[in-house]
C-alpha cells in the first residue's frame, strides 16, 4: 500500500487555492451542456404528465397527436421493454402502466422533429383517467384502509439510495403485507426505559422536516443514439454516475451493460438527484425508434417529475442528567418515500443515534409509500433530516439542564472509538474540535443575551462518507505534462483536486496536468460522484497512478544519469540528482524519448487502484445569527460561520465553495424550501415562483473555518467535503430563531407564517 | 520483462481465425466515416488548386467568390500561421505562398455553408499566375541549370517518411547548394571493383519504377472544431497516427500539442498516405474562423494533391561467380521526392544491399526535388522499389549463371547474423524458409518450360519492421469481460488482433473483449499504424496489460479461495484452483465485488508498456503465373502464391487478408499503376478512369502460405505483417513475363505497350 509520503506542510500544490480547470469556460458561458449537443437526425421527446396523483389509465389516444407536423411517434409503457410494466424501481418505471402513482408521472412520450412540435403534440394526446383516492400524507398513508400505492406487492428497492450509501445499517425488516409501509428497522442499545429513569430532564417532541427539491440550475437532460447495427447505444447524459447509469439502463432494458456506452456531460448541478431517473426511458425510445433522441425537462416538469428529498416526521425523546450527560434516546423516524421505496432511513438512524454518546437508545425507522414522486438523494440524505431534528432537541435540552449549548454538546459529542448505533466505532473524527472552534468564535463568545429579535444559534452534524473502489491512469505527454484519466464525473471541482493531487505527487505545477473524464468504455472504474467519496477514493487512485508514473520517470532518468532512482527528484520540469542540480534530464527529453519512432524507453503510463476500507466521516458545525422582524415574523440570517473538518483541504478554494454552497442550501432547509402537496396530491409549488430557493439576498455573509483533522487513509489526509456543510445550518438557524424569539417551531421550514403561529400559541 | 508464457500450440484464441470486431458494421455499410460526421454549424472547405506545376502567384481575387451564396471566407497563405509561408514540410505548406510548386497544390481555401456552395465559389476565385519553367523528370531536374524547386534553400526534412521508419541508415550527407538534389548517401562494404573483378558474370542495367497513387477507397477527410475558449481545438480525422498528427498540427500552427485533441476516425484505407497532410490546413481554418469546418477531398483532388509513392531510377550492377555466389553490387538509386524532401532512400538502400549476402557493395542514393507533389509513404516504402529492381536483376543473373532462380537466391539469401549494408546484423528471419517453401510448391516444381506466352516468376523481399514505444490498458468489466484501451488506429484488423492477444493472455473468449482506440487525450501512447509495427509493439503492451489484469484477478480470487494465486487458472469465466474445479469464483462475481458502492477490492485495471529494441523483419515470397496475349501483349496473372513469414499468425484471417491485399497491390506495381506527368508537369491520370488500379477481374486467384518463424520478442512470436506482401509481387510478375516471353521490360509497370515495344526491340 502506498501511503502519502509528502509532508503537507512542504507541499507545493495541495493546500493552496487552485482555480477550477474549467472555470474560465464556465464563467464565460462557453461550457457546453446537454442542451447544446447536436446529433444528426436528432428527435425530441416531450412527456405527457399525469394531472392526478392516483388514477387508473383507461385509454391513451394519440391519433390526433400523430397527425401533427413533425410528430414521429407517441409511445406508452406498452411500447417499452417489460420492466416498464413491472418496475423494480423508479428508473424502471419509464412510463406509467395501468395506474399513475403521482402527479407529474410520465404517461406517454411524444417524439417529434423539434421540441416545439413535440410540445404542441403533448396537448393533443388524449388520456382518459379514472381518478382514484390517493395516499398523500405519510401518517394517513400508514393508517389501515388507506389507498395502497402497491396493492399487489412492493417493487424492489430503489437503486439510487443504495448507491448513495444510505443503506448502512443492518437488514431492513420485512413490512407487514398490504400496507404502504415499505420497511421498518430497529436499532437498540442498552435499555431506553432505564436510561430515562436515570434522567433528570426528559424532552419529547415531534418534528417535521419538509420535502425539498434539489433545485440544481440545469433540469434533467439525456440524449441517446442507437449503434448503427442496433445491438447497443450511446447515452449522453448529465449524470453523477457513469457506470451506475449504465447498469440501471441495462437492467431496465434487459440488454447487456457492455452494449451501452455512457458519455457523461457537464452537469449543471445535481446534489444527489442525478443518478439514473429518465435515462432508461430515453434509451428505450431511441432503441425503439432507431433514431437519436433527446429529453430535456422544463423546470416545472423537473419539479413535478424528478426525485426530491423525503419529508420526515420524527418523534424524539431524549433524557439527560443535570451534569449534562445524555442518558437515553428513543425515536421513531417516519420517512415518506413517495411511490417507490428508497428513503435514507438507515443513515438517518445512524446519525441520529451516533452523533452523541448515548448509553441507551431505541430508534425505529419507518418508510412509508405515498402517491407522490419517489424520493431521491439530496446532499447528506438522511443525515440532514436527523440533524435538523437532533440539534433542535439538543438545544432545548441544553436550555433545560442550564448549560451553554456548545458545552452541553461537548460533554456528549462522539469521538474516535465511540460506537454508532450499529456498533461500528468511529475512526478519528473532528466533531469535538469543531465544537471547540465554534465556542471560541467571537460570534458565539460575544453573542450577548438571547431574545429581542436577534439571536445566535449553533448546530453540528456529520456524514460518514461513502466508499467505492476506483482506478485511475496517469500518462506523461511529450512536454512533460500529465494527463489523468478517471471515471468520475466532475461535479464541483473534483477534477481540479485530482490535478492538484497528481501535480503534487509527481512534482509538476498544476498547470501541467489535464484531467479527462472518460466514457464508460474508456474510463477506469469509479463510483458515482455522490456521498462525499470522490476525493477520498478516486483521489487515492490518482495519487497512486501519479506515483507510479513518477517512479517510471525516475527509473528512465536513473539510467541516463547513471544514478540510483532513489537519489533523484523532479524539480522545475527536470529529474535531477538530489543535491547536484547540474546532473539532470528534462521531463520533455524523456517525453521525446518515448513518443517517437524508434524510441527505446517505455511510455510513462501509471495506473492506480484503490479500495478504501474505512470511512472518513466529516463533521461540520454552524453558528447562525438571525434577526426576526417583530411585525412580520420574517427571519433573516445576518451572519453565518461554518467550521468543517475536511481532513486536509487539497484545494481550499473548492472546499470553501462547497462550504458556502452547502450552507446556503442548509439555510434553505431551515427557512425557505418546501414542496407542498394538497390533500389530493396536487403539487402547489411546481415552479421557482412558488418554491423558494434562497437567492443572494437571502444568503448571509459567511465565514468558512477549515478544520483539518487528518484522515489516516485519504490522499494527503483529505476527507470528503460535499455533504457535511448542508447538514447543520438548518438547525442552527432554527436554534437562532429560538434564541431570538424564545419560540420553537418544530415543523420546518421556519416560515414567517409558522413562526407567527408559534409565537401566538406561546403567548 | 514479461515473456510469452503461452505455448501457442495449446492456444485457445490466438492462431485461430477471428472475424473482425467491426466486420458486421463494415459489410452492412453502417460504419461511419469522416463524411458522416455532423457538427453543429459545420462549414465546408473546398480548395482552389493550382493548374500549373510551377508558377508565381501574382494575385488572388476573391471578391466575386465572397459575394456568392453561403460563402463565409476565402483564405490564402497570408491568412494562415507563419509556417505556411516558410514551410518546413509539406504538411506545413498549408496553402501555396508566392509560388506554386506542383499541379494541384492548394492555393486558396473557400469556406461556405454547404459543400456545393463552396465548390461553386472555387470557380469564382480569380487567381493570376505567372507560369514558370518546371523541373519534372528527375534526371532533367538534377541537371545544371534546371529550374529550382527551392531557389532560396531547402526546407526541413519531411516528417512523414521519418515517422514511417524509412530513415534507418546513417546521416544523409548535405547536398551541394542550389540544386534540386536534396540529399545523397553512400553505403559501402569492401571494395566493389575487387568484387566485380572476382565475378564470372556481371549484369548492369537501369530500371525505372513508377509514381504510384495509394488508391485507398476514402479520399482524405478531416474536421476541426475550435474549443469554446479558443485556446485549442478538436480535430476529427481519418489518420494512421493519432499522436503524429497532433504533433504536426502543433508545429504548423505554433500552438502546444496539449491544446489539440485528435479524435481518430474510421479510416477507409490509408496504406501510408494518411499521416498528416491536410490536417494543419483544416485546423488553421477552424481557428481562424472560430467555426467547425470539414475538408473532404474528391477523388480527383486526392490524386492531384496528396502524397504518392516516389518514382525511382536505379542503375544497378551486380556480379556473380559461376557457382552462384554474388560477389558485388554497385548501385545508384535516384528517388524523385516531388517538391519536398522525404523519399525512402535509406530503407531502399538497406533492402537493396541487405536481402542477399554481398561481400562488396557500393550504394549511392540521390533524392531529387521536382515540381510534383511531395511523396509520401506507401506500404513497404523504398523496399518495394528496391525489390522490384533487385529481383528482376537476380532473375536475369540466375539465368546467366544457369541456376534455377530459387536455387540461385538460396545460395545468396541473408540469414540471421548477416549484416545489412549499415552493418547491423539480421536477427532470426524467415527468408530462406520462404524460398524453400516456394521451391517445393507445385506451381514452381511443375512449371514446365519457359516461353510460349505462359510463365511462372518468383521474387522475394522483406521489411525490417518499425519500432515505437507503446502502452495499453486492460480493465475488467462487471460481467468479467475486458476492455482494452490503445492509442493505435485500427487500420486492418489490428484491434481484433489486440482482442485475441488479450483474450488468450487473460483466459476468456474473444467475444468477451472490446477494444477502444482513444483520442489523443485519453489514449495510452502508441505510434502510427504504419511500418508493420502495431501488432509487434502495441500487441506486446496489450499482452502485458492483460497479464497484469489477470494477476490482479488471481490475487483477488486467491484471497477468496484461500489458495495461492500461483495455483489458480481462469477457465470458462471463473477462477478455479488448478485441478479442483469445484473451488472457484466467477469473474462476474469479482466484477460485482469492485463495481459497487462499498466494494472492498480494487478494480481490475492493468497497464502494459513496451519498447521493443530489436526489429522483427518480415519476408515474403511470391510465385506468379502469367499469360501474355500474343497479339496485344496484354499480361494476365492467372495464379499467385504468396508465402510470408509472419512469426506467428495471431489471427490467420486478417493475416491472409493482408497477404491478399498486399499481393493485389503488388500486381498493380508490376502491371498497371502509374501516375503520368507530361513534360510541363501536368498530371495526365487524375482520375480512376485514367489511373489503373487492379480490380477483381485483374486480381488473380491467390494462395496464401503462412510461414511461422517466431520472432523472439513479438507477442506469441508475431512479426508485423502489413508491408511484406506488397514488396515482391511486382517483380515476380515481371519475372513471369520474362519467363513467358523471354523479354525484360526494365521500366515498370509492364503495360501492353511497354511489352510490345520491348518485344519489338528484342526481335
CA nearest neighbour of A587 among A569, A574, A599: A574
Burial A184-217 (b: 16+ CB within 10 A, else e): bbebebeebeebbeebebbbeeebbbbbbbbbbe
Could you tell me where the DSSP H helices lie in B254-322? Answer: 279-289, 299-305
Bridge partners of A312, per DSSP, are A209, A335
Question: Are B524 and A601 an interchain contact pair (Cβ–Cβ within 8 Å)?
Answer: no
Domain boundary among A305, A325, A342: A305
B543 and B489 in a common domain: yes
State how far the Cα of B450 lies from the Cα of B454, in Å rounded to an integer: 7
Mean pLDDT of B508-520: 96
Angle at A295 between CA B36 and CA A229, to 5 degrees: 40
pLDDT for the residue numbered A65: 98
* CA pseudo-torsion sign A754, A758, A759, A761: positive
For residue B616, is it within any domain?
Answer: no
Sort out which chain A residues have CB atoms less than 8 A from B243's CB and list them. Answer: 595
Angstroms from B612 CA to nearest CA on chain A: 7
Share of chain B above pLDDT 70, in %: 96
Angle at A380 between CA A374 and CA A382, to 5 degrees: 55
Best interface-test mutation with A: which of B22, B39, B603, B610 has the largest number of A CBs within 10 A? B603
Whether residue A3 is predicted with pLDDT greater than 50 in this model: the reply is no
Sort out which chain A residues have CB atoms less than 8 A from B607's CB and list them. Answer: 473, 605-607
pLDDT for the residue numbered B692: 95
For residue B451, is it within any domain?
Answer: no
- Residue among B243, B518, B607 minimizing CB distance to A607: B607
What range defines the domain where residue B548 resides? 468-610
Q: Could you tell me the three cell numbers for B197? A: 573483378
Angstroms from B546 CA to nearest CA on chain A: 14
State how far the Cα of B309 lies from the Cα of B383, in Å rounded to an integer: 12
Share of chain A above pLDDT 90, in %: 91
A88 and A25 in a common domain: no
Angstroms from A599 CA to nearest CA on chain B: 5
Question: Count of CB atoms within 10 A of residue B190's CB?
Answer: 14
Residue range A677-719, pLDDT digits in tens: 999 999 999 999 999 999 999 999 999 999 999 999 999 999 9
Whether residue B107 is predicted with pLDDT greater than 70 in this model: the reply is yes
Best interface-test mutation with B: which of A22, A597, A601, A606 has the largest number of B CBs within 10 A? A597
For residue B435, is it within any domain?
Answer: no
Whether residue A176 is predicted with pLDDT greater than 60 in this model: the reply is no
Q: What is the DSSP letter of A207?
A: E
Q: Going by DSSP bridges, is the β-strand pair A360-369/A326-338 parallel, antiparallel, or unpaired?
A: parallel
Whether residue A250 is predicted with pLDDT greater than 90 in this model: the reply is yes
Q: Could you tell me the three cell numbers for B644? A: 510470408
Domain boundary among B356, B389, B404: B404
Whether residue A160 is predicted with pLDDT greater than 60 in this model: the reply is no
B218 and B190 in a common domain: no
Sort out which chain B residues have CB atoms less than 8 A from A166's CB and list them. Answer: none
CA nearest neighbour of A446 among A621, A623, A324, A619: A623
Question: Are B469 and A600 an interchain contact pair (Cβ–Cβ within 8 Å)?
Answer: yes
Best interface-test mutation with B: which of A34, A231, A603 has the largest number of B CBs within 10 A? A603
Q: Could you tell me the three cell numbers for A91? A: 428508473
Residue range A126-141, pLDDT digits in tens: 999 999 999 999 999 9
- Kindly identify which residue of chain B lies nearest to residue A36, measuring between CA atoms: B40
pLDDT for the residue numbered A30: 83
In SS3 terms, B18-68 reads as CCCCCHHHHHCCCCCCHHHCCCCCCEEEEEEECCCCCEEEEEEECHHHHCC
For residue A722, is it within any domain?
Answer: no
B332 and B192 in a common domain: yes
B242 and B123 in a common domain: yes
Best interface-test mutation with A: which of B25, B241, B469 has the largest number of A CBs within 10 A? B469
B1 CB near a chain A CB, below 8 Å?
no
B282 and B321 in a common domain: no
For residue B699, is it within any domain?
Answer: no
pLDDT for the residue numbered B177: 62
Best interface-test mutation with B: which of A41, A161, A605 has the largest number of B CBs within 10 A? A605
Question: Are B594 and A611 an interchain contact pair (Cβ–Cβ within 8 Å)?
Answer: yes
Sort out which chain A residues have CB atoms less than 8 A from B601's CB and list them. Answer: 469, 611
State how far the Cα of A361 lies from the Cα of A383, in Å rounded to an integer: 18
Angstroms from A292 CA to nearest CA on chain B: 13
Residue range B138-172, pLDDT digits in tens: 999 999 999 999 999 888 644 444 445 444 444 45
- Residue among A25, A466, A597 minimizing CB distance to B165: A597
Mean pLDDT of B588-603: 97
Question: Are A527 and B481 an interchain contact pair (Cβ–Cβ within 8 Å)?
Answer: no
Instruction: Determine the length of chain A.
Output: 763
| Long-range Cβ contacts of B577-586 (<8 Å, 24+ apart) | B585/B557, B585/B560, B585/B561, B586/B480
Angstroms from B485 CA to nearest CA on chain A: 6
* CA pseudo-torsion sign B559, B561, B567, B569: negative
Residue range B624-682, pLDDT digits in tens: 999 999 999 999 999 999 999 999 999 999 999 999 999 999 999 999 999 999 999 99
Instruction: Determine the length of chain B.
Output: 763
How many structural domains compose chain A?
2
Distances (CA, A) of A260 to A253, A257, A488, B515: 11, 6, 17, 14
Please, which residues 207-246 of chain B have a Cβ atom closer than 8 Å to chain A?
A: 228-229, 243
CA nearest neighbour of B312 among B388, B208, B391: B208
Question: Are A258 and B521 an interchain contact pair (Cβ–Cβ within 8 Å)?
Answer: no
B279 and B140 in a common domain: no
pLDDT band at A300 (very low <50, low <70, confident <90, very high): very high
Q: Could you tell me the three cell numbers for A574? A: 527536470
Angstroms from B544 CA to nearest CA on chain A: 12
Burial B83-118 (b: 16+ CB within 10 A, else e): bbeebbbbbbbbbbbebbbbbbbbbbbbbbeebebb
Bridge partners of A433, per DSSP, are none
State how far the Cα of B431 lies from the Cα of B410, in Å rounded to an integer: 9
Q: Could you tell me the three cell numbers for B223? A: 474536421
- Kindly identify which residue of chain B lies nearest to residue A511, measuring between CA atoms: B258
- Kindly identify which residue of chain A lies nearest to residue B548, measuring between CA atoms: A607
Domain boundary among B367, B383, B404: B404
Residue range A21-38, pLDDT digits in tens: 989 888 988 888 999 888
pLDDT for the residue numbered B230: 62
Cis peptide upstream of residue A464 (ω within 30 degrees of 0): no
State how far the Cα of A716 lies from the Cα of A108, in Å rounded to an integer: 51
B371 and B322 in a common domain: yes
Please, which residues 512-541 of chain A have a Cβ atom closer than 8 Å to chain B?
A: 514, 516, 518, 521-525, 527-528, 531
B294 and B268 in a common domain: yes
Sort out which chain B residues have CB atoms less than 8 A from A477's CB and list them. Answer: 257-258
Residue range A538-582, pLDDT digits in tens: 999 999 999 999 999 999 999 999 999 999 999 999 999 999 999
B40 CB near a chain A CB, below 8 Å?
yes
CATH code of the domain containing A226: 3.90.1170.50
Angstroms from A300 CA to nearest CA on chain B: 28
B746 CB near a chain A CB, below 8 Å?
no
Residue range B398-407, pLDDT digits in tens: 999 999 999 9
A548 and A490 in a common domain: yes
Whether residue B81 is predicted with pLDDT greater than 70 in this model: the reply is yes
Mean pLDDT of chain B: 95
pLDDT for the residue numbered A5: 44
Q: What is the ipTM of this complex?
A: 0.94
Whether residue A448 is predicted with pLDDT greater than 60 in this model: the reply is yes
Sort out which chain A residues have CB atoms less than 8 A from B164's CB and list them. Answer: 597
Residues in contact with B573: Cβ distance below 8 Å, sequence separation at least 6, in sequence order: B480, B508, B586, B587, B588
For residue B100, is it within any domain?
Answer: yes
B269 CB near a chain A CB, below 8 Å?
no
Sort out which chain B residues have CB atoms less than 8 A from A603's CB and list them. Answer: 469-471, 524-525, 609, 611
A466 CB near a chain B CB, below 8 Å?
yes
Best interface-test mutation with A: which of B525, B552, B573, B608 has the largest number of A CBs within 10 A? B525
A15 CB near a chain B CB, below 8 Å?
no
For residue A696, is it within any domain?
Answer: no
Angstroms from A150 CA to nearest CA on chain B: 28
- Residue among A256, A522, A598 minimizing CB distance to B516: A522
Residues in contact with B300: Cβ distance below 8 Å, sequence separation at least 6, in sequence order: B686, B687
State how far the Cα of A642 lies from the Cα of A640, in Å rounded to an integer: 6
Q: How many CB pairs under 8 A join A and B?
A: 176
Question: Are B609 and A607 an interchain contact pair (Cβ–Cβ within 8 Å)?
Answer: no
Q: What is the DSSP letter of B378?
A: -
State how far the Cα of B280 lies from the Cα of B274, in Å rounded to an integer: 13
B72 CB near a chain A CB, below 8 Å?
no
B33 CB near a chain A CB, below 8 Å?
no
CATH code of the domain containing A542: 3.30.365.10
For residue B531, is it within any domain?
Answer: yes
B381 CB near a chain A CB, below 8 Å?
no
State how far the Cα of A328 lies from the Cα of A365, in Å rounded to an integer: 17
B42 and B67 in a common domain: yes
Question: Are A611 and B605 an interchain contact pair (Cβ–Cβ within 8 Å)?
Answer: no
State how far the Cα of A151 lies from the Cα of A130, in Å rounded to an integer: 17
Q: Could you tell me the three cell numbers for A142? A: 400508514
With cell 413535478, the residue in question is A304
B590 and B510 in a common domain: yes
Amino acid at each position: 500500500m502506498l501511503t502519502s509520503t509528502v509532508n503537507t506542510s512542504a507541499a507545493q500544490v495541495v493546500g493552496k487555492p487552485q482555480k477550477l480547470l474549467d472555470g474560465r469556460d464556465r464563467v464565460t458561458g462557453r461550457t457546453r451542456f446537454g442542451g447544446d449537443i447536436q446529433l444528426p437526425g436528432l428527435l425530441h421527446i416531450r412527456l405527457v404528465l399525469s394531472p392526478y396523483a392516483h388514477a387508473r389509465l383507461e385509454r391513451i389516444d394519440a391519433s390526433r397527436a400523430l397527425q401533427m407536423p413533425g410528430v414521429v411517434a407517441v409511445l406508452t409503457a406498452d411500447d417499452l421493454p417489460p420492466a416498464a410494466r413491472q418496475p423494480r424501481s423508479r428508473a424502471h418505471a419509464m412510463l406509467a402502466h395501468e395506474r399513475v402513482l403521482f402527479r407529474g408521472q410520465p404517461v406517454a412520450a411524444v417524439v417529434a422533429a423539434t421540441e416545439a412540435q413535440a410540445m404542441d403534440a403533448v396537448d393533443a394526446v388524449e388520456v382518459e383517467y379514472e381518478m382514484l383516492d390517493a395516499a398523500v400524507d405519510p401518517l394517513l398513508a400508514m393508517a389501515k384502509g388507506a389507498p395502497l400505492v402497491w396493492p399487489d406487492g412492493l417493487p424492489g428497492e430503489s437503486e439510487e439510495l443504495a448507491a448513495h450509501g444510505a443503506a448502512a445499517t443492518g437488514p431492513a425488516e420485512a413490512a407487514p403485507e398490504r400496507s404502504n409501509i415499505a420497511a421498518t428497522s430497529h436499532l437498540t442499545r442498552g435499555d431506553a426505559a432505564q436510561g430515562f429513569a436515570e434522567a433528570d430532564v426528559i424532552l419529547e417532541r415531534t418534528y417535521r422536516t419538509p420535502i425539498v427539491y434539489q433545485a440544481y440550475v440545469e433540469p434533467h437532460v439525456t440524449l441517446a443514439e442507437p449503434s448503427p447495427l442496433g445491438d447497443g447505444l450511446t447515452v449522453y447524459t448529465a449524470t453523477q454516475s457513469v457506470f451506475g447509469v449504465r447498469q440501471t439502463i441495462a437492467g431496465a432494458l434487459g440488454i447487456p451493460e457492455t452494449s451501452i456506452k455512457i458519455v457523461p456531460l457537464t452537469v449543471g448541478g445535481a446534489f444527489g438527484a442525478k443518478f439514473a431517473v429518465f435515462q432508461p426511458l430515453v434509451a428505450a425510445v431511441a432503441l425503439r425508434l432507431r433514431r437519436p433522441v433527446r429529453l430535456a425537462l422544463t423546470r416545472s416538469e423537473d419539479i413535478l417529475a424528478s426525485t426530491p428529498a423525503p419529508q420526515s416526521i420524527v418523534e424524539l425523546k431524549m433524557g439527560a442528567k443535570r451534569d449534562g450527560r445524555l442518558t437515553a434516546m428513543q425515536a421513531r423516524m417516519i420517512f415518506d418515500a413517495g411511490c417507490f421505496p428508497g428513503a435514507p432511513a438507515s443513515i438517518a438512524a445512524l446519525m441520529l443515534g451516533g452523533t452523541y454518546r448515548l448509553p441507551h437508545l431505541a430508534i425505529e425507522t419507518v418508510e412509508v409509500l405515498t402517491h407522490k414522486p419517489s424520493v431521491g438523494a439530496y446532499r447528506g440524505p438522511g443525515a440532514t433530516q436527523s440533524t435538523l431534528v437532533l440539534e433542535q432537541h439538543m438545544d432545548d435540552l441544553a436550555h433545560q439542564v442550564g448549560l451553554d449549548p456548545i458545552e452541553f454538546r461537548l460533554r456528549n459529542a462522539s469521538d474516535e472509538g465511540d460506537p454508532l448505533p450499529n456498533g461500528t466505532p468511529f475512526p478519528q473524527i473532528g466533531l469535538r474540535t469543531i465544537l471547540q472552534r465554534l465556542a471560541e468564535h467571537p460570534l458565539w463568545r460575544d453573542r450577548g443575551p438571547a431574545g429581542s429579535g436577534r439571536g445566535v444559534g449553533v448546530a453540528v452534524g456529520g456524514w460518514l462518507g461513502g466508499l467505492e473502489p476506483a482506478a485511475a491512469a496517469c500518462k506523461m505527454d511529450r512536454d512533460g505534462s500529465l494527463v489523468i484519466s478517471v471515471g468520475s464525473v466532475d461535479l464541483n471541482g473534483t477534477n481540479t483536486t485530482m490535478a492538484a493531487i497528481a501535480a503534487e505527487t509527481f512534482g509538476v505545477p498544476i498547470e501541467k496536468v489535464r484531467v479527462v473524464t472518460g466514457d464508460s468504455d474508456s474510463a477506469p472504474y469509479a463510483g458515482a460522484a455522490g456521498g462525499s467519496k470522490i476525493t477520498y477514493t478516486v483521489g487515492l487512485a490518482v495519487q497512486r497512478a501519479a506515483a507510479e508514473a513518477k517512479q517510471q520517470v525516475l527509473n528512465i532518468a536513473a539510467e541516463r544519469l547513471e544514478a540510483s532512482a532513489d537519489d533523484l527528484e523532479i524539480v522545475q520540469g527536470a529529474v535531477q540528482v538530489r543535491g547536484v542540480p547540474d546532473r539532470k534530464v528534462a521531463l520533455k527529453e524523456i517525453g521525446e524519448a518515448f513518443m517517437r519512432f524508434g524510441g527505446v524507453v517505455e511510455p510513462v503510463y501509471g495506473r492506480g487502484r484503490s479500495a478504501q476500507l474505512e470511512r472518513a466521516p466529516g463533521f461540520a458545525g454552524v453558528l447562525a445569527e438571525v434577526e426576526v422582524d417583530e411585525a412580520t415574523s420574517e427571519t433573516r440570517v445576518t451572519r453565518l460561520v461554518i467550521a468543517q473538518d475536511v481532513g486536509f483541504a487539497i484545494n481550499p478554494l473548492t472546499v470553501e465553495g462547497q462550504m458556502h454552497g452547502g450552507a446556503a442550501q442548509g439555510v434553505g432547509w431551515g427557512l425557505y424550501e418546501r414542496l407542498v402537496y394538497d390533500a389530493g396530491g396536487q403539487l402547489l409549488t411546481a415552479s421557482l415562483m412558488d418554491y423558494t430557493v434562497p437567492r443572494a439576498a437571502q444568503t448571509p455573509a459567511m465565514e468558512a473555518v477549515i478544520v483539518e483533522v487528518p484522515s489516516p487513509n485519504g490522499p494527503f489526509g483529505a476527507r470528503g467535503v460535499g455533504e457535511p456543510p448542508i447538514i447543520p445550518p438548518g438547525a442552527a438557524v432554527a436554534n437562532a430563531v429560538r434564541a431570538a424569539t424564545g419560540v420553537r417551531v418544530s415543523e420546518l421550514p421556519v416560515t414567517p407564517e409558522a413562526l407567527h403561529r408559534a409565537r401566538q400559541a406561546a403567548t
